[in-house]
């Protein structure tokens, strides 16, 4: 069987109702994985998407809505996924939110929310996910960092801080979980065309584009294919890496 196939494995992708998470869920399912979707809801929409993915790719796909900002909800999500699928092999910690604003203009509640979703939510998912993966003898965890977590960006201090924290979390988890057969890597997307970047004005987009060696913004599928590589056996000896998916923006 091709090393890119994930038949017989179960993947949970947080924040997979749209954007990069949705493309990743679709890509992993297309390569044979049973998939658990997640988002804030509504449940009927997520259920509809799960049914469509299952039909398209002939895999099992279910949806478990949960707010990644709540430790209890994250624990419940991981356990519900494991109960339904009977195993967990791949965990993609993708759910994330922006918290744009100059340093002097960031309300405390916004700081708390961004760190709760992007950092604490990922940490809690890895805690429970790693315990469940151990039962199957190992697995692969992929976190969604960002180019701004490595390079910073004026007006994105909060978001950049959350993504830099994710990189530290990823590297530490890779060291701790490697001996248990669990690989942990991050992808660091550059500018990807999704709802998250849709609000940016034309001038700003133009400026970003000038910095991209490949001369185009990335697609959600560009990131999904990199996650696929890190999820499966093609990357069996890769852990503790932060892989840029940015068209040559960070060089």
Question: How many residues belong to the site for ligand NAP (CB under 6 A)?
Answer: 28
Taking the C-alpha atoms of residue 80 and residue 129, their distance in angstroms, rounded to an integer, is 12
Stretch of 2-10, 13-21, 104-112, 224-232 lying at the interface with ligand NAP (CB under 6 A): 13-21
In the region spanning residues 156 to 215, those forming contacts with ligand NAP, defined by CB under 6 A, are 189, 191-192, 194-197
How large is the greatest C-alpha to C-alpha distance in the chain, in angstroms? 55
Residue 21 in the binding site for ligand NAP (CB under 6 A): yes
Over the window 108 to 147, marking each residue x when it contacts ligand NAP by CB under 6 A and - when it does not, the resulting string is: ---------x--------------------------x-x-
Residue of 30, 40, 54, 238 interacting with ligand NAP (CB under 6 A):
40
Residue 95 in the binding site for ligand NAP (CB under 6 A): yes
Residue 96 in the binding site for ligand NAP (CB under 6 A): yes
- DSSP E strand boundaries for the chain: 10-13, 34-37, 61-63, 90-93, 139-144, 182-189, 242-245
Active site residue 159: yes
HSE toward the beta carbon, residue 176, CA cutoff 13 A: 12
Helix axes 220-231, 19-30, angle to 10 degrees: 50
Residue of 6, 11, 13, 15 interacting with ligand NAP (CB under 6 A):
15
Taking the C-alpha atoms of residue 83 and residue 12, their distance in angstroms, rounded to an integer, is 12
HSE toward the beta carbon, residue 236, CA cutoff 13 A: 6
Site residues for ligand NAP per CB under 6 A: 14-21, 38-40, 67-69, 94-97, 117, 144, 146, 189, 191-192, 194-197
């Amino acid at each position: 069987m091709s090393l890119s196939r994930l038949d017989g494995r179960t993947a949970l992708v947080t924040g997979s109702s749209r954007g990069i998470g949705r493309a990743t869920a679709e890509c992993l399912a297309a390569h044979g994985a049973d998939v658990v979707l997640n988002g804030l809801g509504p449940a009927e929409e997520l259920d509809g998407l799960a049914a469509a993915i299952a039909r398209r790719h002939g895999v099992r796909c279910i949806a478990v809505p949960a707010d990644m900002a709540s430790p209890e909800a994250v624990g419940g999500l991981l356990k519900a996924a494991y109960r339904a699928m009977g195993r967990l092999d791949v965990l993609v910690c993708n759910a994330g939110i922006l918290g744009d604003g100059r340093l002097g203009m960031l309300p405390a509640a916004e700081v708390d929310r961004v760190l709760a979703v992007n950092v604490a939510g990922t940490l809690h998912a890895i805690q429970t996910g790693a315990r469940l993966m151990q039962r199957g003898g190992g697995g692969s965890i992929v976190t969604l960092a960002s180019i701004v977590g490595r390079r910073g960006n004026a007006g994105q201090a909060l978001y950049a801080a959350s993504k830099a924290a994710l990189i530290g979390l990823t590297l530490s988890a890779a060291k701790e979980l490697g001996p248990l057969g669990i690989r942990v890597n991050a992808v660091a997307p550059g500018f990807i065309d999704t709802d998250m970047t849709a609000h940016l004005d034309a001038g700003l987009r133009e400026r970003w584009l000038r910095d991209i060696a490949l001369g185009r913004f990335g697609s959600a599928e560009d990131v999904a294919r990199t996650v696929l590589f890190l999820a499966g056996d093609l990357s069996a000896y890769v852990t503790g890496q932060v892989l840029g998916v940015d068209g040559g923006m960070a060089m």
